[in-house]
Chains A and B, each alone.
Chain A
Amino acid sequence: MKIIATDREGKEHTIEGRDGWTVMEILRDAGLPISAECGGACACATCHVYVAPEWYEKLTAPSDVEIDMLDLALAVEPTSRLSCQIVCRPELDGIKVTIAPE
């Protein structure tokens, strides 16, 4: 599966995802500037991304913990998610995300 990620400068990157990995891990592995301070424990909101609206609905709904943690993210939008909580699977092939401002 592929992930299409837009960085903070607006540049688009097409990255190969891996089933079972989180989108955060894939973005970080690809060297994109995602800090993910807590290492993927849904505890810091520093892997905040905007999911393209057409993809947002295809995702498993955010947990209460993620919704709460998004309160600590900056510039939250209706399709904001924490990328450490999005697990790669074949149905998400082509998912588009934009890395939120720091």
Chain B
Amino acid sequence: MIETDVAIVGAGPVALFAVFELGLLDLKAQLVDILDRPGGQCTELYPEKPIYDIPGLPVVTGQELTDRLMEQIKPFGAKFHLSQMASGLARLPDGRWKLSTDAGAEIAAPVVVIAAGAGSFVPKRPPIAGIEAYEGKSVHYAVRKMEAFRDKNILIAGGGDSALDWTINLAPIAKSLTLVHHRDGFRAAQHSVNKMRELEAEGKIRFQVASVKALHGADGRLERVTLAGADKKEYSHDCDMFLPFFGLTIKLGPIAEFGLQLHENLIPVDTAKFESTTSGIFAIGDINTYPGKLKLILCGFHEAALMAQAAFHICRPNEKLRFQYTTSSSSLQKKLGVT
């Protein structure tokens, strides 16, 4: 089990700034995020979009803000556990918390900070009746082992990079492969589109403008699907594997099972410490709620600063906290590596 001062759920801008505020107080942090890189919504949803309400930065993109925060927290050496979901929270016999991830990591810490935004990014599930029954057997939202798809009749739906990349990668090992998309156009890298068109011209895959309307099979094993073409006419298509690629959406996920008080999927906190009603568990950023709450990155930064002060008293009960400014404190400047 990993031991640290503060375990943070999430690695978005507010979680990153929390590392900074904790670091100034000599508190070490470990972060868990389901995405494969830091930045949360900023890098996943709008890396190129300008943000205009970060104090002191008249305009900054989601990616730039993340890059700058990563630079700012570099001196504190926080450890990131990426591509994994915070899946469990339990109290240890010594009073600390144990945060576990779905990849098997276990982090013990006196303080846990939930900075999870609106929750975890998870694949979008198409609105097809009964699809849940096939998930994991015949319906997959990601390819973990390519071998599982050998000699299968594969159906891929979607028009982005994931749909095209897996069409290209699985075509050589599939028995047959059909790609369906609602239009004859793609928002994927041009070379992938060209490659897919080549495979189609060579007869190695089929592409159809269609959408999946119904799944048919038994015991989670898919036998065929009903497709509807551009003309709305429905027809049957035989396949035993279905890979829908419609991007990601945000679901609260396992945080709902952490035993914390929730109000409409948000964690109520006090506004002095941003602590939940469970002692030692804090919530900052979009995931928390309190009277007057605004879902702004800048509000999350403020919440992180106050949370850090309260976290210090839990992590270092016998030490006195002296409030210092980075402009004048030589000890803070030393921590930041600027002196």
Contact = CB atoms under 8 A, between A and B. Distances in A.
B45 A72 contact: no
B124 A72 contact: yes
B181 A74 contact: no
A37 B246 contact: no
Interface string B172-194: 00000000011101110000000
B249 interface: yes
Given A72-B246, A74-B124, A74-B126, A41 B45 contact: yes
A61 interface: no
A37 B249 contact: yes
Nearest to B127: A101
Given A74-B127, A75-B126, 4 more contacts: A37-B118, A72-B246, A73-B246, A76-B211
Interface in A30-67: 35, 37-38, 41, 43-46, 67
Interface residues of A, number: 19
Give 7 nearest A-B pairs by CB, closest first: A68-B187, A72-B247, A101-B127, A71-B159, A38-B45, A76-B182, A43-B46
Nearest to A69: B187
A71 B118 contact: no
Nearest to B124: A74
A76 B185 CA distance: 14
Between B159, B160, B182, B183, the greatest number of chain A beta carbons within 10 A of the residue's beta carbon is seen for: B182
Interface residues of B, number: 22
Interface of A: 35, 37-38, 41, 43-46, 67-69, 71-76, 101-102
Contacts of B249: 35, 37, 44, 46
Interface in B3-60: 41, 45-46, 49
B22 to A, nearest CB: 27
Contacts of A35: 249-250
Nearest to A80: B182
A75 B249 CA distance: 15
Contacts of A101: 127
Interface string B94-138: 000000000000000000000000100000101100000000000
Contact of A45 (B46, B126, B247): B247
Given A71-B186, A74-B126, A75-B127, A44 B45 contact: yes
Between A45, A71, A72, the greatest number of chain B beta carbons within 10 A of the residue's beta carbon is seen for: A71
B14 to A, nearest CB: 15
Nearest to A101: B127
Contacts of B268: none
Given A37-B250, A41-B49, A67-B185, A102 B41 contact: no
Secondary structure of the A contact surface, majority rule = loop
B127 A72 contact: no
Contact of B46 (A38, A67, A74, A102): A38
A67 B126 CA distance: 19
A74 B157 CA distance: 11
Contacts of A38: 41, 45-46
15 contacts: A35-B250, A37-B118, A37-B249, A37-B250, A43-B45, A45-B247, A69-B187, A71-B182, A71-B187, A72-B160, A72-B247, A74-B246, A76-B183, A101-B127, A102-B127
Nearest to A77: B182
B285 interface: no
Nearest to A75: B127
B181 A71 contact: yes
A101 B131 CA distance: 15
B211 A43 contact: no
B158 interface: yes
A55 B45 CA distance: 29
B45 to A, nearest CB: 4
Contact of B158 (A37, A41, A71, A75): A71
A71 B45 contact: no
A45 B46 CA distance: 12
B127 A41 contact: no
Contacts of A75: 126-127, 211
